[in-house]
Amino acid sequence: MLDIRGLAKSFNGHTVLDHIDLSVPRGSTTVVVGASGCGKTTLLRIVAGFESPDAGTVSIDGRQVAGPDRSVAAHRRGVGYVAQDGALFPHLTVGQNIAYGLPGSARRRKVRNRVAELLETVSLDPSYASRRPHELSGGQQQRVALARALARKPVLMLLDEPFSALDTGLRASTRKAVAALLADAGVTTLLVTHDQEEALSVADQIAVMRDGRFTQVGAPQHVYRQPRDRFTAEFLGDCIALPCTVAAGFAECALGRVPVGHSVGDGPATLALRPEQLRATIVSDTAQAGGADDSRGGVGTVIATEFLGHDVLLTIDPAGDNGPIVVRQHSLNHPAVDAKVRIEVIGSGVALK
Amino acid sequence: MRPRWSRIAAISSTLAVALSMTACSSSDEGDELLIYNAQHESLTKEWIDAFTEETGIKVTYRQGGDTELGNQLVAEGDASPADVFLTENSPAMAAVEKAGLFADLNQDTLDQVPPQFRPPTGKWTGVAARSTVFVYNTNRLQPDQLPKSMTDLQQPEWRGRWGGAPAKADFQAIVSAYLQLEGEPATEQWLEGMKTNAKIYNDNIATMKAVNAGEVDGGIIYHYYWYRDQAKTKEGSANTALHYFKNEDPGAFVSLSGGGVLKSAKKPEEAQQFIKFITSRAGQEVLEKGDSFEYPVASGVPANPALPPLDSLQAPKVDPSTLDEQKVTELMTKAGLL
Amino acid sequence: MVAPPLSRPAIEVSRSEAAARPGPFVSATVAILVAATCIPLGYVVWGAISVGWSRAYELVVRPRVGELLVNTVSLVVVTVPLCVAIGVAVAWLVERTDLPGRTLWRPLFVAPLAIPAFVNSYAWVGVIPSLHGLWAGVLISTLSYFPFMYLPVAATLRRLDPAVEESARALGSDSAGVFFRVVLPQLRLAILGGGLLIGVHLLAEFGAFAMVRFDTFTVAIFQQFQVTFDGAAGSMLAGVLVLLCLVLLVAEATARGTARYARVGSGAPRAATPIPLRHFAIPATASLVALAALALGVPVWTILRWLSIGGTDVWDVDAIATALGQTIGLAAAAAVLTTVLAFPVAWVAVRSHGVLARMVEGANYITSSLPGIVTALALVTVAIHFARPLYQSVPLILFAYVLLFMPRALVNVRAGLAQVPPGLEEASRSLGSSPTATFFRVTLRLTAPAAAAAAAFVFVAVATELTATLLLAPTGTRTLSMLFWSFSSELDFAAAAPYALVLVLLAIPVTLVLFRQSTKVAAL
């Protein structure tokens, strides 16, 4: 329902967006994730109508709203926009803020009822309507901003790093609540963030952006499990990269033979594995080095452990002259330092050039 | 709270604009005679009050300085709204006359004024007069140390000892008489002498007060400021006395205050009436009996008893309509006084 | 919020915004205003051209002009740093230390703005009759204008993030070190802005200096124009004055660099803990008392003294009431008009980048540095030759006031506008309000306090304006300043005193409003 084709934008000779194509299906949530300065906010602002593109088009619901020849003004696009810091109007009460985009005076009963309704949708007590923005906490302000944008029942919601200003503790719960809200409302949403965990949890479709281009666009599971390049792999989560040699659908590496998906061609490559694919189990001193399991793992010695509460990070020095590997696993009964462990590889890896 | 403030602000500002429009709109009711007045406001007000009482004609005026109003009249040309022009000195009248803006005055008005107090052209007339004097501090100067002539003041021995107000039309009128009497080179020289010797003050009163305070030994001013101060608190002149140069010296110049009717006057009849009134017995008696201490010039009215009679002053003969203020300005600028 | 690096002022813009292009209505208004500011300039230039090069050279390169140059430049060079020192010191004492009676001192040092410079001059001449020359000029202008420095510096001090100074302390700086290395650099913009404003006032002031016989360019120009309506010598002097103003502008622009007055940030930081003065409290209080006595005590006492000398005779209630009504009417109308017109100009200055914005500001500042008389005479000439009906009319004098006082209004409106984050305007647009509706519903409401301060400033300025009013006032209009001037130039100080009193009383409530607004809005 949102169609972006060939979007390009430069500021002062510096290219910020370089040929962006993106489609957001109706009712779904797409998250554009990337580091600060990669261009994702500019993309959002162009869709909102605050900037105009140098090239390319943006269409909402089949109607072209931005293009080289014609541009629909921001206030006519019917798009809901939630800024990074909420951008609540300080001179209006919460209720007046929410009612801002609604026709009619904020005092009319119909409007007041709608405001109360919206406040409930964002899990805020209707009594908040008479408060002023500065009396609310960051999380509450964000929710009011959301309610305000939703008031006009927009066809498209744009959220610019909506949770980055919140305390870490709040972030997760607010995120969940907002995602649920948007999904319930069935609103098409485009969200940008630099937080990969946020992106993965909220998105139906994820687009990884780097220096104005998408490196990969797809479902979160897919992009996470099958990253197309090293950058995407490392951006979306911890990644263990091992040099390997690919031959006939398998990669030979320090951890043995690991199956790889659609291959990148035979020969030397880098094998990318996720930490959850590795499991370290203690091996007794007397166990044999060889064995049927050799092809699915390697042996090493734990040289360091880092207790993280729920998880523990084990730094393991594998046999042979390969670098240490970091394995994350649950912390119950984990191998201690100097223990000999076997590293098992679960599932298949991705070979990248 | 805020919405109410902005509403109040909006209403009050609209009111303010409306108020200013009505309060300040020019009195173009067409009923009133308009004078461009460069004379002292108090004196003109007396004249106006007496005139309105006698004739019932309402008068309004625009206050300003001689050259300022004169220049404004010249710039306005026939679009000027003024009916009458009154000045303190003659050069401004001469300038306006030169621009051809005055109407001929009625003969019966001119008949009231002796010929030495009005230009031969009949385009305007003197309505009052004032004499140049040298005011000096009696503690610092003895009568035998006083300058014999105004030209003496350019000599080195007077360095830092006298003051004047070259920026004002009063002083410029005196210099314009000097120019007519002594010629350009001598005037130039005298002005250079003034630049070296004199302390510059803003106006006559400031000069007088400075002399009184002993800042300078003496100064060139017009007589009536001294008399006015003497009649009041004397705080500007208690330590001073006046020295009249006499002997038809340039320093004895008697400056004529002028009155004229503009050709472009909307109410020429009333304007002529006004000039006639102020040069009539009734008008001139305001000068005799009032506290302006300026000299009457018309209808045989004598001066205020406190003043020395006008004919005893031995003033030099100067044609008032040929006083060249432009030249004076030029020379003063050249000398660095302006 | 991350604390900014120590060497840059806290109020600089922290992200590069895309240039906002002003709409056609705004551009047209701004273009007309810029064209209008060219009228006085054009008049001066035309005067210069019509005089011819050799005569122009003759008129400019002469000893008298040298005299005036020395006087004017010395005045600026001595007074501005003095005002900086006094303004910053007072602001520091009042805002940052535990000086006793701070809540009283704060509004007190805004009060000198209620006393026009020429009334101050009149007061000092009443106390020391022989006061004249450069030091008289410096004394009177410093006492009259230091609030222009004190206000923005105090407002900025209030908004500085104390975390920055605390970090400096933790790094080993003592109080003096913190002040000079951390606080002062952050005050740079406020000091530059205040300094420019004071410089501009010094160049344009007439009455105060005329009364103490200190000949600056403006005094000389006034004399010239009184004597020869559009004389060549006068236009030449005006030309040199314009050049001086350009020098000031360039100096301020260079010192300011690329920093702009926009302020980004989430709300005011917490208040800094006051620095204890201990044994400095007594000398500090004593010097503040002395300053207040000089700046306020002398004028007030002199006016009261003259009033008691004059008795009831000097109170011509009719004349005073009429003058009061006319003064209020003109001042209020001018204030509203100027503030409204300041918005588009401020918009261009704050929201768009580049040469156009600075040109617009520059044009306005140049006009305000021309003495009111030059603008007035230019308008008189234009009106007489091209627009007769406007001559000696209220619209013309209001127009002159707009030209003269736009910069004062601009400083406030610009600062207020800069504090409305564009994010709020974008949010409003995304909620369906067109740009015009957004302006009225969001921007205007948030800028209202600053706009009120701007209007207050202009009101006071117009109520106390003298030279342009003398020339342009419609016949029958006699404002309070005009009457004050006509009495005091006849040295009838007692008769002038009631007008001085009314002028000051008129200015006080407006000055209080100004003060209240300045506590809410930074940078004047």
Interval A152-172: pLDDT, tens: 888 899 999 888 877 777 788
Q: How far apart are CA C29 and CA A54, in angstroms?
A: 29
Phi (first) and psi of residue B190, to 5 degrees: -65, -40
Domains by residue range for chain A, with CATH: 2-232 (3.40.50.300), 238-352 (2.40.50.140)
Chains within contact range of chain B (3+ C-beta pairs < 8 Å): C
Judged against a pLDDT cut of 60, whether residue B23 lies above it is answered with no
Checking if the pLDDT of B11 tops 80, the result is no
What is the DSSP pairing of strand A240-247 with strand A63-66? unpaired
Nearest to C23 by CA among C445, C435, C443, C446: C435
C478/B63 touch (CB, cutoff 8 Å), yes or no: yes
- The H-or-E segment that residue A20 falls in is strand A14-24
Average pLDDT of span C300-313: 88
Set of chain B residues whose Cβ sits within 8 Å of the Cβ of C477: 23-24
Closest CA–CA distance from residue C474 to any residue of chain B (Å): 5
Between A and C, how many residue pairs show a Cβ–Cβ distance under 8 A? Answer: 68
Cβ–Cβ below 8 Å for C333 and B17: yes
Nearest neighbour of C432 by CB, restricted to A11, A89, A152: A152
Poorest-confidence range of B195-199, C252-256, C299-303, C488-492?
C488-492
* Of residues B191, B210, B231, B162, the one with CA closest to residue B337: B191
CB-closest option in B20, B74, B215 to C130: B215
Q: Is the dihedral of CA B164, B170, B174, B176 positive or negative?
A: positive
Burial of A127 (0-12, 13-18, 19+ CB in 10 A): exposed
Nearest CA distance, A126 vs chain C (angstrom): 21
Spatial distance between the Cα atoms of C351 and C19, rounded to a whole number of angstroms: 7
Per-residue model confidence (pLDDT) at position B197: 92
| Burial zone of C452 (CB within 10 Å; 0-12 exposed, 13-18 middle, 19+ buried) | buried
Q: Which residue of B has its CA nearest to C477?
A: B24
Of residues B101, B146, B114, B141, the one with CA closest to residue B245: B146
pLDDT number for residue C368? 61
d(CA C221, CA A165): 60
Token pair, residue A202, equals 């909220």
Q: What percent of chain A has pLDDT over 90?
A: 13
For the stretch C306-314, contacts whose Cβ atoms lie closer than 8 Å and that sit 24 or more positions apart, written own/partner, are C306/C126, C306/C493, C306/C494, C306/C496, C306/C497, C306/C500, C307/C494, C307/C497, C307/C498, C307/C501, C309/C494, C310/C494, C310/C495, C310/C497, C310/C498, C314/C494, C314/C495, C314/C497, C314/C498
**Chain-chain contact of C427 with A91 (C-beta, under 8 angstroms):** no
Query: Residue C266: which of A85, A151, A152 has the nearest Cβ?
Result: A85
What superfamily would CATH give domain C24-261+282-520?
MetI-like (1.10.3720.10)
Q: Which residues of B touch C473 (CB under 8 A)?
A: 24
Nearest CA in chain A to C438: A75
- Quote the crossing angle between the two packed helices C134-145 and C117-127, to the nearest 10°: 130
Q: Which pLDDT does position C231 carry in this prediction?
A: 64
pLDDT band at B139 (very low <50, low <70, confident <90, very high): very high
Rounded-to-integer distance, Cα C351 and Cα C367, Å: 23
A177 and chain C in contact, CB less than 8 A: no
Compare CB distances from C229 to B26, B41, B75 and report the shortest one's residue: B75
Nearest to A78 by CA among C429, C443, C438: C429
Place of tokens 């045989």: B300
Residues C57-108: tens digit of each pLDDT: 888 888 888 889 999 999 999 999 999 999 999 999 998 888 888 888 888 8
Question: Chain C partners of A79 at a C-beta cutoff of 8 Å?
Answer: 430
CA distance C285 to chain A (A): 37
| Rg, Å, chain B Cα set | 22
The confidence band for C412, taking pLDDT boundaries of 50, 70 and 90, is confident
Q: Which residues of B touch C329 (CB under 8 A)?
A: 16, 19-21, 23-24
The confidence score (pLDDT) of residue C230 equals: 57
- Chain C residue with minimum CA distance to A48: C430
Mean pLDDT across the stretch C399-416? 84
Residue A58 has pLDDT above 80, yes or no: yes
pLDDT at B161 (0 to 100): 93
**What's the pLDDT tens digit per position in B223-248?**
999 998 888 878 788 899 999 998 89
Closest CB to C223 among B63, B72, B167: B167
- Tell me what pLDDT residue C2 has: 27
Mutant choice from B14, B17, B20 vs C, greatest count of C C-beta within 10 A = B20
Pick from C64, C211, C388: CB nearest B79: C388
Write out chain A residues lying below 8 Å of C438, CB-based: 75
pLDDT over 60 (residue A307): yes
Q: Is the pLDDT of residue C175 over 50?
A: yes
Contact residues on chain B for C231, CB-CB shorter than 8 A? 329
The mean of the pLDDT values for chain A is 84
- Quick one: pLDDT at residue C397? 92
Min distance B109 CA to chain C CA atoms (Å):
27
Instruction: Verify whether the Cβ–Cβ distance B23 to C229 is below 8 Å.
Output: no
At C91 the pLDDT is 92
Contact list, C211 vs chain B (CB under 8 Å): 202
pLDDT class of B26 with cuts at 50, 70, 90: very low
How far apart (Å, rounded) are the C-alpha atoms in residues C483 and A181? 71
pLDDT given for residue C11 in this prediction: 28
- In this complex, do C477 and B24 lie within 8 Å of one another by their Cβ atoms? yes
pLDDT of residue C522 exceeding 50, the answer is: no
Rounded to 5°, the CA angle C239-C241-C247 comes to 110
Residues of B in contact with C213 (CB under 8 A): 200-202, 206
Q: Which residues contact A168 (CB under 8 A, 6 or more apart)?
A: none
Do A114 and A150 meet the contact criterion of CB atoms below 8 Å apart?
A: no
Domains of chain B by start residue, with CATH: 33-128+255-307 (3.40.190.10), 130-253+325-335 (3.40.190.10)
CB pair distance less than 8 Å for B26 and C475: yes
Of the listed ranges A309-318, C87-96, C99-108, C380-389, the least confidently predicted one is C380-389
CA gap C67, C70 in Å, rounded: 5
Confidence of residue C520 (pLDDT cuts 50, 70, 90): low
Report d(CA C433, CA C425) in Å as an integer. 9
- Asked if A161 contacts A32 with a C-beta cutoff of 8 angstroms, the reply is no
**Which one has a higher pLDDT value, A339 or C360?**
A339
In this predicted structure, what is the pLDDT of residue B22? 53
pLDDT, tens only, A239-276: 888 888 888 888 888 777 888 876 677 788 888 888 88
Q: What is the per-residue pLDDT for B12?
A: 63
DSSP label at residue A51:
S
pLDDT of the residue at B15: 63
Q: What is the pLDDT of residue B66?
A: 87
pLDDT mean over A9-21: 87
- A287-297: b or e for each residue (b if 16 or more CB lie within 10 Å)? eeeeeeeeebb
Asked whether the beta carbons of A277 and A311 are under 8 A apart, the reply is no
Cα distance between residue C275 and residue C360, in whole Å: 42
